[in-house]
Structure 1
């Protein structure tokens, strides 16, 4: 600050007035009226200004835009006034001119007296003197006459409702009134409802007591202290893992559609996503172990079948648009491999499971548990979930929004167009390798050059350049040993898992034989990767024997295309003709079970003899002989009637009778 003659300063505990300012010393007049010459170096080391502290320009950032604008206008006017005085302009003219300018800028009349008052305030208080104390944020807090016990009860009620359902202000007023009467009786005065409403508005600032319950709970979980952050010195020093239910519907199987649960492991130093695993809702401890195993074995070193499965599933978004799948392979291979030294988790049962903790202990990974209901203990993984939601999930068919309030009526929640969980898994891993790892991350911004923002891959390479470390990935056998186990009987054709047959030429010594595991009824232990369709592994105790997918339909391009078309037709068929086909099938089954009608041989022989008799009454009258044993089959007489009439008329066909001629004449 600049001190001129006439200003008051504090020197050696005494308030002094500056009399003369020279190049080598300053003359100060003490409170006792004595003039003292003090060298410049001595004064600058111990002198203090008596005037109130000046508001720093950066403190204006906490004020409203209107207040900041008014202060800047007054400050510029005073600077122009000082410049005019220095150039020889009279004080009255300079005051009148600047008063007009300030009035035009503030859109109100400014007198020269007001201009004089602002200049004096600026001289004594700095920018603080230019503030308009009538602004809402600068007003002194209103003194209330509400009894202190009422204020305490309001605070208790609002604090106790942090995790309760949202209610109206009237409910809180009634609750505070009831507690006041119960605890204090008539010794205190309950304020009016209008005063209560103002009191609640003042006490509720920043709590969302009458807003969203989810927001209120999130605010309540924040620690009541200043936030602090630490930046790890190398990759893997701090990692965080967590699970969440995604805001998108996927197809688990042909009859189940639900929201999957995502588990990710993120490195804090580079913001790299080391592993991401999708499972049906209700992630178990073994699923967390799978996520850890996929993080500790890079894509290039995973067991056989991983690439084949990815290529089989990714045909939908690669081959349909003629994208070379090798480009996805290169992006996955470029992902950094980071071995976690420390993993921070919450207190979910799946993270506290014996399987996950044993895996961490076996691998020498430190296990840190966050405090209960404290998401700020692992903020990076929590924030990454939000980024995945906005950058990836909202582009997927079946996105339902983060709550029912954000879900539209046209949201697809059950359709054949929904992605399967296997497609979602491979698509997510491709997105992480292609987009996330190569996208500038705001948390990786250069401290001295804020315009420089690094990607997770770039940050990892920078760390390795400065502090190179050798992290050896797990072997394939280590990866297989961490996979979940299924118990199966080895048949002549191999084993069946998820309706797929797996077989190997090395199974000759195990077919149709029981293992020594009596606890599982002699079944064999099979290690299964949920995201590898091509290979499973038989745990023989000494090694892992690979069993390959015996159905080679996926290896034939023509048959693969046929199955894709068949699957599309299957999903488009509404099966509307099932009732008609069921009726036809039921008729066939009824006839097949019933068979042909049973025939009585004796009755059939008797009817046959009567039909063959040329003098039978039936033949003489031209009728037919009934045959109840074969009522649906025409009798033999029908065939005889088509022959000559001689055997049936007794041989006298040329003889006529007068009665017959008379009948014929009458008929004409």
Structure 2
């Protein structure tokens, strides 16, 4: 029961009725008698009265003649109707309230006294209202801003208000747009709604999309065929309802098919139950400028990240030049499949290192279930020692439609390892919301780096690209920036509670990504991903070449080493059936060498370019193409086959480094990353586990020739690429 109460006094209390204010004439046992502004009386039961909203009317209650529709209106719509009622009352009675009992000092106003024709009084009111509106400052501002037009109120408009009040009372003065609101389609005939839904449901991707008028015709035909030709619906109602149905289904057969499978995808999140089930990857611009070691110029870079959706663990992270290519995406997947460790010694934090099989961080299960523990973060002393970054073999990869992710190379790579590709829909960033959230989270690290340039140009300072010696900050090199990101991931992000980790979480506990990973392993089992140090070569393209007296030739460059001596006179079919060509692993990020697997012992050997010892500039495949184009433009096609081609390449490389330092700076970054990958693969082949990590802390000399590495792939885990031609 409503707690509303009102005090009613005969001759002093007023009630808002159908035609406006009514004065209380008499109080009976179960009802009261009212007199309205038309001098007519009516009896109203007490139970039919309701509370008046906070409007500027002297009423203590409202009758059922207005409720409940009156209650559904906004306050502005009700006040607008009451204002019109005042003007109508003033024209008809001379009193704005319509009642002599509520007369004001200047009422009744002579211009609206009885004796003047109704039309003349309406015209006079129109002039008065137009003048009052012209004095309204807010109205003038809206006119000046172009929001409304300054049209005078006409006499016919005022007469129309009077006619509507006489016909429907106060409700006739309500703006019908405000009264209509959002009615939905409940007023439509149910039979028409059923026929329309049945017709629109036919668009499931198998039939072609048609125009709205054709759909309306088919609905009418369906009703006629079913014997419901008497159904009447307005054209406006038909158009609005069918357009709404078609909008939900989409405009094209492709969107129709997506609508049909929306119960399984599109509107619900996939239930990710274990690490590696779905890995989200993305390339995003780093809002930090870094300095090139070799060229001393500031450059922009991108951050490639792979996130395990189930646990939010960062499986892999690479900093690459603008912009990432397909091989960068493939090597990110390579990093996700191999586990890492990171050593903290005192205040020194070393870079991530490959450690062989994944090792989970030890977790006390009883500690997780302790009530009131929030969040579960390891204390400071636990930061010392080895930190494990797990590696998994993904079931599926979630990414956007970036060219690097839809490339032929990346698609072949996923197919080779049996990994599904889940592409986000266009203009739907929520499909890969994990990466969108990461891009915001990583700002905590980026904003603390020298050279931070803001999220956009409006936030950019003037000294982004220069050293800030006044504050003791120098721009980071690419290697330093990548190491800083990895340290932040290992020591901060992985050990900070994540609000998105809810599945299976004990009540009152906030899990960190590391703890979530370990907790999932308690259910799914240990993830012993089959590892081999030469896993790297499974991610490199293969080129087939005939081994001759001067080695093997790719792109007019000769590669040679002693290990090829036994295969310089290979017979047809020795490596593949159709010819004498042998397979070589080829890294587009460093074409100064290729790699050859000796069939005799399964060892992978580096095969350097004949002039590699004189190479002083970085040489990627993209740089080599540009260099050879310059040579060809100067001396023709034969210039690429001359005996001094090596000397010409070296000379052009030196010239290109002077003319295009930014391109060469990006190439230098790719070459360094490639050599680091191959060096780690070699070092991992020499042993595994934490006992060898300390040996890897010393910097590797890039000029030191890379020793051969043992290649003995597990064919049940990794495919044998020796028979594939990806050149």
TM-score (norm 2): 0.38
More relative contact order, 1 or 2 (CA 8 Å, 6+ apart): 2
TM-score (norm 1): 0.41
Asked which structure has the greater CA Rg, the reply is 1
